[in-house]
Structure 1
Amino acid sequence: MASLFAVLLVAGAGVAILLKYCQLQTILFRKATRCPVTGKNTKHPSWENSAPNARAEEEAKKKAETNSYKRLYYQVQNLEKFPEVLPFARQTLVSLLRQSVLNAKLQIHSQFNILKLEDDHSPERLAAFMAGKRHKTHVDWAKYQQRRQAGGGPEMFADREAARQWVKQNAPLQLVDGAWVARVHNVTTPYALRGITKNAWQTYCEELGDGDLAKNHCHIYRELCRSIGYEYPHQNDVDFIHPRHGLDNDRVWRASAGHLLISLFPNDFLPEILGFNLHYESLAPGTLKAARELPEFGISGYYFAVHISIDNAESGHSAMAEATINTYMEHVRKTGIMDVKEAWRRVQAGFLLSEYLDGDDDLGKCRDAVAGMIHAKAGVAGEVHCTSRARIGGRELTDWFSRDTLSSVSSSSWKDDFITALTRSKPWVYPGDSERGLLLKELSWKGRMFGAFTQNEVQCLRTWIDLLDDDPTRVEEKYWKLVGRADNGNSLRRNAMPETASLMSAGVDAATMHPAFPPQMAIPVAGLSSSSSSEFVPFSPLHMAKSRKVNLDALLPLWFMHPCILEQIVMSPYRTTMPLGSSVLRLLRAESGYMPESAGVAGMDEQRRDPESPIPSLTELGLDICRSNHVAEPTCLKDVLQSCGTAGGSSAAAAASVDFAYVVLSWAARPIENGTFLLGLSRAFLDLEKFVSTAANQGLLLSRQGCEGLANMIERKQDSFDKFPSLLKSELGGMEMFNAGYELGRHKIERLLVQEISLDDRD
């Protein structure tokens, strides 16, 4: 094997050096006389029997990979039905991240490779880098405009049918617009990070029209498809991925799955999500061209025109994404929650993943580059490697590189067969681990083949080998090593609950992990009197005797938990493409402390808001309650539940409150199954908010500023709840489960906060 690469120097190296290299022999395959493809025993197998199906094998592998992405696309949008997919989903995400970084290392000399920003983050350097990318896009666009003005025709689409097919094939991706940040801001997010994740989740809200269905990007694209004759089921329907729809673009399915996966584990991959967001919200040449050319064929280009404006780098999503990264990196520096260099490399990895999914680079392209490189060198090698006994795929090197072989078969067949055989040639190549194999060692300094390949060619070989992952159980370890994590990600993997059997076990802590599917308590609908009613009638306001004091240990678990009730309903974009889902999104925006909806888009106004006039979120109001009552501020939901539920240190009501909080977390994790019930339950907690607001007005519980903020939030939420009955009747056919959720929630809240209970009463 060593002499194989040595002889490739024949065109530029001396005979003495060649003879020295030829002395390097390998024991690999000395006894191999069986072709690994045909299985025939022969010393010199005929070329026709070597590996004629190598390309077919690659195509089959590619098809299987695409089908895997399609299944993930369906399952992730129905996660509560397929929680067992989470370990594979995580593995796929990490594999894509690793591929993205390795691919970028292969193209390190590219003008706008973010890896050139090295190992540390600088707001100024990042701004200059992004400005350079935008400038190139603007220059390319100006040249395109000049060509069109000079009489040139459309460059993206040959005719109307080509334009229709392009819109059609991109449907899986565009119909999940915003998904990459869908889960980034949730009830389990550490409180110190919520300002950062809130800014990222704002992008998701604006992609979905801030709850205005007409402005919802997924809705706009669905209407675009409908206008040109394509009608699809919702993306959560298994029929959406059926071949009958003709959605067969491999790259699009990979990208679509990637957009869903990147946000799936927000507590473990926040830097990657922020980096992904920065790249994807950058102005893309294809968006500019599509906005111009589609109308030329009688097809609306408004979906793409909207993205050109809303993603602008001064006040739009691109500016928001860059500012959020700068804020996050400053937080890392100040708190030391992570090594700064590691955090920046992970931001880069997320950026590169979006770039990778946006293009057509993959293992196949890298494979072809390696095969072409070796084939070109083999053509000038001649017969000087005749002393070698090394074999590749059971074939002697003399046979692989003979003039007769190279002239008698097509170059594509030779490349396919050779690269397939080389892939299996241990100890020279260990798939997924270039450092382990002998090939790269011999090509490096002090190796006996140093100089046989240029530096770029060596990097190409290295990347190809590293992308040949044959051990999926080690892919996460390899990724953490790539981004320089000190413990190779062991701490993250311990928290990730990768074992399928544990995903739905009682040991899953839904207060710290997202997503999590602990066993859920059956909803006791039969015992609720209002569950058979078709109308909603709210109960009288919660009331507590003046002689009693609010039990904070019982209140705080309920307060900090209840933002979870509706948040997962909108974590798949398709659920916001109907009026009810849009109304839920508006309600969640109020709970999260965003400015009220307007006719326009907030963009950077949200981040530039006057700090003296805050709009608090439910979580921030909970922290206000703690400060106002001299209670130690928790750092996350788990802190609240632990401190209030500690045995012996709390009242029975507090312990029962913690129990109920975990029950609600399990219900909230299943929004498809429990959606209407959760809406009613959330309405009961609006009554709790009104109760707290009343107490605050009496000088209890909240600061003056917090009291004003809660009153404004209640008003906004009430507006959404007032719309729910008619929407539930029109979309879901009734109010029964809504009423059941409301009644159960009210009874629980009253029992925990208003009535006296003992430990024996806990259920």
Structure 2
Amino acid sequence: MSGVHIEIGRPQQAVRQWSAKSIYFSLLESELSARTKAESAAFLARQLSETHSHATSMPATLAELETWLAEHNELVGHQYHEYLAGRKAGQPRRYFRSKSHALFFLRAVAPTKLVDGSWLYGLMKHWQDPRLVSLIKIYLEELGDGVEAMNHVVLYRKLLKLNACEDWKNLDEKFFTQGAIQLALATHTDSHLPEVIGFNLGYEQLPLHLLITAYELKELNIDPYYFTLHTTIDNAQSGHARGAIDAVREAMPVFADASDYMQRVINGVKLNDVGLSTLDIIQQFDMQAEVVRILQSKANIGQFMHSDRCVIGGRTVNDWLKEQDQVALFLQEMEKTGWVKRHHNPEESPFWKVIAGDKAPMFGVFTGYEQQVIYDWIAGEALESQLMLARLGKPWRMVEKQAIAHDEALHKKYGNVYDFRSGHKLTQQMRQANDFNQDQLAFERHVHGIDDEQILMDFLVEWMSPAKHYTPLGLSATRYFKSHMDSLF
């Protein structure tokens, strides 16, 4: 936790300041402690209070939602058309100045994208309630209906892996706020149903930044599929945006206070404003500062790893790295001494040759993301003049195809025993049980051994949590759950 402060007028009472990052990871644990539940509830209440006065374009009546949705999509469509016309006329990318800038963004939004759809999880235990069918359908689709290739979190995890951006857990506190909100809504749905419905309504509307992001990622040789998927699945006619409005109507109370319900829905919509926005995150990127941060992250170990014969600016590299606040000066000295030749082809810089390439002396010290940042920083004003392969790497389709082939080989070797729609054994039996498929086989036996419907669904729902649904067993549970729901509704 980040400490306490004392309220004026209440000198004897300490009020805890919760860390969004701490709450985020606590809410992803298998068993939630009473303390985690209490702190996340207070965190959620504070965010609702702070956003209560925020303005929103959402109407206060159900009858106006259709028009609101249509007008929003028309506006976004016009804005995107203007963006495309500008690009065609020669305007530069609006969001990402370089590939490292785009990768910074992918990494920075990871805490939010890796809990995609989580705000709806608390509804799953109410699977028998027909008022929640639209919302449950949306959650299942966020989970890809149990199909790995369509599960949104699986897709984003693969995107991070392909681009060597998997160290997102080291991000600063400010990048975890929105994800913590989503997980808190999942945890406290029973007391915040209208707010969950409202948050979903706001989140599922197609934003302009999603369209531009997908367009520019593709230009920078980064697979845009995760983002293009959301532009199609969230469509206003038959997608999640449509389902979000249906959900508001389906859960509208018949005898209780409908106006209070709508106000709480609006309060949930406003929770989308919590934390850094997409544009805020894009604007956070400072290439010079990021290079310094990367070198500082290596300093604790690096200060012992270099030969004393390596002297730059009158000091050994080990000496430079002893104090993190000296790293910025170290970079300046590398420029002065020619170790780094800014605004030239990075291949001309000895420092780049030391860290890049399979046979480089420091091979493996810097991740792919970190190397991209350093490459773009060295190239500087000469970046766009570099060869595309050197500047952007291999075409993403080629890299992805290699990864898919590997995954398919594993699936063929350790495939599933049961058809998850029919529940019957496959005609082609899995190979003999081994140490790699024991969990899967035990899961199958357990599921097929449960006769009580409620116990079965409770078990499946547990495996469909934000912390588990993207795992092989979580995907299996999702397929079973969807199969049962399809038979009911």
TM-score range, shorter chain: 0.5 to 0.7
Q: Which residue of 2 aligns with 1:99?
A: 50
| Shift in CA distance, 340/536, structure 1 to aligned 2, threshold 3 Å | closer
The match for 1:587 among 467, 480, 489 is 480
Note the residue ranges of structure 1 that are not aligned, 5 or more in a row. Answer: 1-63, 105-111, 233-239, 363-530, 543-554, 595-614, 618-763
The match for 2:209 among 286, 292, 308 is 286
Separation in 2, partners of 1:538, 1:97: 44
| Deviation of the 1:263 alpha carbon | 1.9
The match for 1:207 among 142, 146, 162 is 142
Q: Which residue of 2 aligns with 1:568?
A: 462
Note the residue ranges of structure 2 that are not aligned, 5 or more in a row. Answer: 1-15, 281-437
2:257 maps to 1:339: yes
Q: Which residue of 1 aligns with 2:268?
A: 350
| Shift in CA distance, 163/559, structure 1 to aligned 2, threshold 3 Å | closer
Q: Which residue of 1 aligns with 2:351?
A: none
* CA displacement, residues 383-432 of structure 1 (integer Å, 9 cap, x when unaligned): xxxxxxxxxxxxxxxxxxxxxxxxxxxxxxxxxxxxxxxxxxxxxxxxxx
Separation in 2, partners of 1:138, 1:284: 10
2:86 maps to 1:142: no
| Deviation of the 1:141 alpha carbon | 0.9
Kindly provide the amino acid, as one letter, of the partner of residue 25 in structure 2: Y
| Deviation of the 1:68 alpha carbon | 0.5
Separation in 2, partners of 1:322, 1:212: 26
| Deviation of the 1:83 alpha carbon | 3.3
Kindly provide the amino acid, as one letter, of the partner of residue 302 in structure 1: Y
| Shift in CA distance, 536/562, structure 1 to aligned 2, threshold 3 Å | closer
| Shift in CA distance, 538/102, structure 1 to aligned 2, threshold 3 Å | closer
2:119/2:186 contact within 8 Å kept = yes
Q: Which residue of 2 aligns with 1:82?
A: 33
Two-structure CA RMSD over aligned residues (Å)? 2.9
| Deviation of the 1:535 alpha carbon | 8.1
| Deviation of the 1:576 alpha carbon | 2.4
Counterpart mapping for 1:650-665 below 5 A: none
Q: Which residue of 2 aligns with 1:520?
A: none
2:132/2:250 contact within 8 Å kept = no
Separation in 2, partners of 1:225, 1:559: 38
SS in structure 1 of the partner of residue 249 of structure 2: helix
Kindly provide the amino acid, as one letter, of the partner of residue 102 in structure 1: S
Counterpart mapping for 1:253-332 below 5 A: 253-329=176-252, 332=253
2:120 maps to 1:248: no
| Shift in CA distance, 268/150, structure 1 to aligned 2, threshold 3 Å | same
The match for 2:165 among 230, 239, 242 is 230
2:154 maps to 1:219: yes
Kindly provide the amino acid, as one letter, of the partner of residue 39 in structure 2: F
1:180/1:262 contact within 8 Å kept = yes
Q: Which residue of 2 aligns with 1:489?
A: none
Q: Which residue of 2 aligns with 1:69?
A: 20
2:119 maps to 1:180: yes
2:52 maps to 1:158: no
* CA displacement, residues 43-80 of structure 1 (integer Å, 9 cap, x when unaligned): xxxxxxxxxxxxxxxxxxxxx96x71011111101151
* CA displacement, residues 333-391 of structure 1 (integer Å, 9 cap, x when unaligned): 2xx2x3111101011111111244563899xxxxxxxxxxxxxxxxxxxxxxxxxxxxx
| Deviation of the 1:285 alpha carbon | 1.1
SS in structure 2 of the partner of residue 140 of structure 1: helix
Q: Which residue of 1 aligns with 2:277?
A: 359
SS in structure 2 of the partner of residue 176 of structure 1: coil
1:179/1:259 contact within 8 Å kept = yes
Q: Which residue of 2 aligns with 1:616?
A: 488
Separation in 1, partners of 2:242, 2:236: 4
Separation in 1, partners of 2:244, 2:444: 44
| Deviation of the 1:310 alpha carbon | 0.5
* CA displacement, residues 297-322 of structure 1 (integer Å, 9 cap, x when unaligned): 11111110000001000010110111
SS in structure 1 of the partner of residue 50 of structure 2: helix
| Deviation of the 1:272 alpha carbon | 0.8
* CA displacement, residues 8-62 of structure 1 (integer Å, 9 cap, x when unaligned): xxxxxxxxxxxxxxxxxxxxxxxxxxxxxxxxxxxxxxxxxxxxxxxxxxxxxxx
SS in structure 2 of the partner of residue 575 of structure 1: coil
2:449 maps to 1:577: no
Separation in 1, partners of 2:106, 2:442: 43
Separation in 2, partners of 1:282, 1:358: 18
Separation in 2, partners of 1:165, 1:201: 33
Kindly provide the amino acid, as one letter, of the partner of residue 351 in structure 1: V
2:48 maps to 1:130: no
Aligned length: 313
| Shift in CA distance, 296/90, structure 1 to aligned 2, threshold 3 Å | same
Separation in 2, partners of 1:537, 1:211: 15
1:168/1:225 contact within 8 Å kept = yes
| Deviation of the 1:84 alpha carbon | 2.1
| Deviation of the 1:148 alpha carbon | 0.5
1:174/1:221 contact within 8 Å kept = yes
Kindly provide the amino acid, as one letter, of the partner of residue 576 in structure 1: H
2:209/2:278 contact within 8 Å kept = no
Kindly provide the amino acid, as one letter, of the partner of residue 248 in structure 1: D
| Deviation of the 1:163 alpha carbon | 0.7
| Shift in CA distance, 184/318, structure 1 to aligned 2, threshold 3 Å | same
| Shift in CA distance, 70/583, structure 1 to aligned 2, threshold 3 Å | same
| Deviation of the 1:283 alpha carbon | 0.3
Kindly provide the amino acid, as one letter, of the partner of residue 207 in structure 1: E
| Shift in CA distance, 580/340, structure 1 to aligned 2, threshold 3 Å | same
2:57 maps to 1:113: yes
| Deviation of the 1:147 alpha carbon | 0.8
| Deviation of the 1:223 alpha carbon | 1.1
| Shift in CA distance, 157/342, structure 1 to aligned 2, threshold 3 Å | same
| Shift in CA distance, 226/536, structure 1 to aligned 2, threshold 3 Å | closer
2:144/2:151 contact within 8 Å kept = yes
| Deviation of the 1:200 alpha carbon | 0.5
2:198/2:268 contact within 8 Å kept = yes
Separation in 2, partners of 1:260, 1:269: 12
Separation in 1, partners of 2:152, 2:279: 27
| Shift in CA distance, 81/353, structure 1 to aligned 2, threshold 3 Å | closer
1:101/1:352 contact within 8 Å kept = yes
Separation in 1, partners of 2:203, 2:78: 20
1:214/1:220 contact within 8 Å kept = yes
| Deviation of the 1:204 alpha carbon | 1.4
Counterpart mapping for 1:402-421 below 5 A: none
Which of structures 1 and 2 has the bigger CA Rg? Answer: 1
Runs of 4+ in 1 over 3 A off after TM superposition: 355-362, 534-539, 558-562
Counterpart mapping for 1:4-83 below 5 A: 68-78=19-29, 80-83=31-34
